[in-house]
Amino acid sequence: MSVYLIARVKILDRSGYANYIAGFMAVLSRFKARLLSVDESPELLEGSWDVTRTVLIEFPDKSEAKAWYNSREYQELAKHRLGAAEADIVLVQGRDTVSA
């Protein structure tokens, strides 16, 4: 069953974060993932959203998502993000049906 990675990112250093962006797709493309959205101006319907960037990635299952996240290549790349931004990153389970 699909899982979705949601990242709420507050970019603190654009030039440092650019190093992360430069290598991101090359690493992600080695895994079974689809980058569904990268949005710096989502429409807020309720509450507050005090982040610079919101990212949504689909993986076929949790094991593939964790394989990407824990991979040596991604962890090396993530050092650029960690030095240039703060982030909240979660995995959420997809559903086969629409009912809640």
- The band of 96, judged by pLDDT with boundaries at 50, 70 and 90, is confident
Q: What is the pTM of this model?
A: 0.92
Strand boundaries in the chain, DSSP class E: 3-11, 34-39, 53-59, 85-93
Length of the chain: 100
- Domain residues of the chain, as ranges? 3-42+51-93
Q: How far apart are CA 67 and CA 57, in angstroms?
A: 14
CATH of 3-42+51-93 given 3.30.70.2660, 3.40.50.1970, 3.30.70.2190, 3.30.70.100: 3.30.70.100
Number of other residues whose CB lies within 10 A of the CB of residue 22: 11
| Whether the predicted pLDDT of 4 surpasses 80 | yes
| Model confidence pLDDT, tens digit, residues 23-49 | 999 999 999 999 999 999 999 999 999
Q: To which residue do tokens 């650029």 refer? A: 80
Q: Read off the DSSP letter of residue 75.
A: H
